[in-house]
Amino acid sequence: MIPVTSCPRLSPGVKLQFDRTREQWILQAPERVFVLDDVSHEILSRCTGETSLQSLIEQLSTAFEADVAEITADVEGLLSSLIEKRVVIA
């Protein structure tokens, strides 16, 4: 579990970028490229180190008019997998 007060951010050397050739959002990481779907992009574009996990979830829940529990599951699922890969720091 990631504490709700922590402010997730991209690890050093990781960049969020729009790939113009393939018209998709990607995460550039050391010797890895992650292709982002719309939900992942919405989450990761808020991982600036300035937004708490709780606030990030509230923002997404408002923006997508979705249930907080559902958004929480999506966000935690994505971020824990990227934390384990050392792409995100929380």
Partner 1 sequence: MTEGVDAVTVLEAARQKVPAADTAVAPPLAALLELTHRCPLQCPYCSNPLELERVAHELTTESWLDVIDQLADLGILQVHLSGGEPTVRRDLPDIIRRTTERGIYNNLITSGVAIDRARFFALVTAGLDHVQLSFQDAEPASAAHISHVSDVQEKKLAFAGWVREAGLPLTVNAVMHRQNIDHIDAMIELAIELQAARLEVAHVQYYGWALANRNALMPSRAQLDATTAAVSQAREKYRGRLVIDYVVPDYYAQQPKACMGGWARQFINITPSGKVLPCHAAETITDLDFPRATQQSLRAIWYQSPAFQRFRGTAWMPEPCRSCDQREIDWGGCRCQALAIAGRASATDPACARSPLHQHMQALAAQAAGSPLVPFRYRRF
Query: Which residues in this chain contact partner 1 in the complex, by CB under 8 A?
Result: 11-15, 17, 19, 21-22, 24, 26, 28, 30-35, 83-86
Angle at 5 between CA 78 and CA 75, to 5 degrees: 15
From the CB of 8, what's the least distance to partner 1, in Å?
14
Identify which of residues 47 and 71 has a Cβ nearer to partner 1 in the complex. 47
From the CB of 67, what's the least distance to partner 1, in Å?
27
- Measured between alpha carbons, how far is 41 from 64 in angstroms, rounded to an integer? 13
Find the length of the chain.
90
From the CB of 32, what's the least distance to partner 1, in Å?
5
Identify which of residues 7 and 36 has a Cβ nearer to partner 1 in the complex. 36
